[in-house]
Amino acid sequence: MNSAGSEVPWSQTWDQIDDDFDEHLEEVRNFLRCPTVSASDDDMLAGAEYVAGLIEGAGGTADIIPTSGHPAVLGRIEGDGPRLLRYGMYDVQPADEPGWSSPPFAAVTADVPGAGPSIVARGAANSKGSLASFLLALASARRVSDLPAEILFLVDGEEELGSPNLPRVMHDRRADLAAEAAFDMDLTADRRSVAEVYLGCKGIVSFVLSCSGGEWGGPIERALHSSEGVVISSPAWSLVRALSALKDAAGRNAIDGLGPASVPQEDERLLDALVRDFDPAAHLEEVGALAYLGPNDAHSVLKDLMYEPALNLNGFSAGSVTGKTIVPHEARAALDLRIPYGTDVESVVAGIERIVAEAAPEVLVEGVQLCPPSRTTANSPVAHAMVESQRDVGPPPQVWPSAPWWAPFYLFEQVLRLPFASGGAGHAGRAHAADEYATIAGLRTHMRQSIAFLHHYARAARAES
């Protein structure tokens, strides 16, 4: 925590957060104990109700919005100042991977080596920990005084599915979402407490390739003894052919609408600043790898993370890998293509379908989901407030023109046409992996920053008017 500590106008609020912190921590843990895996049949309504309860606990009001999938939550907390829209999510990734040292929904506190005392749970890092922290900080703040801004909430229960129903919710409730700016928050700080601010994010085209025996050939209904594989086609080989053709095209940026990485002129200064502070060796260690795929200088790595499209094979499955000599009757692969801002998403999808149809017409392209990229300007008050509030609680943050990951920021930027920024102090780790965690110190820092952010925004807005 830097010198801003006791001087700031909201130091009384910070003291209140400290007073309430033990209680807040239990509340965060309870929220993490709701299994809200959107890809499963968990009780997502209970998760939505928990979010609504947290909003109401901070003195606000909340509606649970049914969708054709999992419900969203729309809320409002009064304040004396500009109106801001906070996006959030209450769903989490599946937690069925091996390697958890405690049950993923037990939310135990444990010492994470190198990070310190933490809550270990699916969703601790991504993103229930920060959502609860933000709301609990507002609850503390309101015990001391009015909030310096009015906060609207739009909380999705399907972000890990690509937010398929959020556009509809936004369309239907557009009038309730009128605001000056929008933002999202996460526990983005690394182990040095250096946090990040994002001005946008990459997009994703996700899809499944599948192939089963049928009129075209291959065994139908059941696997075949592989002695017959010389005369009967193999759905698994068809899938390999389609995958190989797609990878080849993606590697050459030869999928329609895909181009090689290019850095917009306005981003060059931001990229240079990031490069100065980026340690490729530390990044490799953090992601759990020993070598980069391409050049290992900071500039190349960051440029690729933000601007280079990439086709990822999330997994594949067919038959048996433990010694059954069979020709499987079905095969399946899941992929995602990460795309930079400016990509023509529809062309990319058409390009994928064409390549697969040419390489292996018996392979189906299914479950295509479009998650468009997003981008807002570095000069907006909301980005400024995010940077300043992070400075209040730690070292100066890094400003990323684009996050390498996806979130439904485009809906705020392109549909609601609001300036948008994302960021957040506090350290967490292992999102989407076993032993996902948020440090306890990080949660407290995040609560403090949440309040500072509102004050910085309100001050900037007042100065402008």
Residues 335-354 that bind a copy of itself (CB under 8 A): 336, 338
Residues in the chain: 465
Alpha-carbon distance of 276 to 292, in angstroms, equals: 19
Give the range of 56-64, 285-293, 437-445, 446-454 binding a copy of itself by CB under 8 A: 285-293
Q: Residue 370, interface with a copy of itself (CB under 8 A)? A: no
Q: Give all strands of the β-sheet with 398-400 in edge-to-edge order.
A: 61-65, 72-77, 150-156, 83-89, 181-185, 420-424, 196-198, 398-400
Give the range of 84-92, 323-331, 384-392, 419-427 binding a copy of itself by CB under 8 A: 323-331
Question: Helix, strand or coil for residue 442?
Answer: helix
Terminal Cα distance for the chain, rounded: 31
Q: Residue 269, interface with a copy of itself (CB under 8 A)? A: no
Q: Least distance from C-beta 226 to a copy of itself, angstroms?
A: 4
Alpha-carbon distance of 47 to 33, in angstroms, equals: 10
Q: Residue 322, interface with a copy of itself (CB under 8 A)? A: yes
Ranges within 122-161 binding a copy of itself (CB under 8 A): 160-161
Ranges within 19-78 binding a copy of itself (CB under 8 A): 39
Q: Residue 164, interface with a copy of itself (CB under 8 A)? A: no
Q: Residue 333, interface with a copy of itself (CB under 8 A)? A: yes
Among 64, 434, 441, 460, binds a copy of itself (CB under 8 A): 434
Residue 29 tokens read as 């843990």
Residue 248 tokens read as 């080849």
Which residue, among 453, 415, 418, has the nearest Cα to 85 in the 3D structure?
418
Q: Least distance from C-beta 273 to a copy of itself, angstroms?
A: 19
Ranges within 220-249 binding a copy of itself (CB under 8 A): 220-234, 236-237, 240-241, 243-244, 247
Beta bridge partners of 424: 196
Cβ closer to a copy of itself: 314 or 347? 314
Helix axes 298-307, 280-287, angle to 10 degrees: 50
Q: Least distance from C-beta 286 to a copy of itself, angstroms?
A: 9
Cβ closer to a copy of itself: 305 or 355? 305
Residue 82: φ, ψ to 5°: -65, 160
Q: Residue 289, interface with a copy of itself (CB under 8 A)? A: yes
Ranges within 199-218 binding a copy of itself (CB under 8 A): 202, 204, 206, 208, 213-218
Alpha-carbon distance of 104 to 437, in angstroms, equals: 10
Alpha-carbon distance of 348 to 328, in angstroms, equals: 30
Q: Residue 97, interface with a copy of itself (CB under 8 A)? A: yes
Beta bridge partners of 92: 37
Among 309, 372, 419, 424, binds a copy of itself (CB under 8 A): 309
Residue 121 tokens read as 């749970």
Q: Residue 459, interface with a copy of itself (CB under 8 A)? A: no
Q: Least distance from C-beta 408 to a copy of itself, angstroms?
A: 14
Question: Helix, strand or coil for residue 384?
Answer: helix
Q: How many residues bind a copy of itself (CB under 8 A)?
A: 86
In the chain, the amino acid numbered 194 is V
Ranges within 399-428 binding a copy of itself (CB under 8 A): 403-406
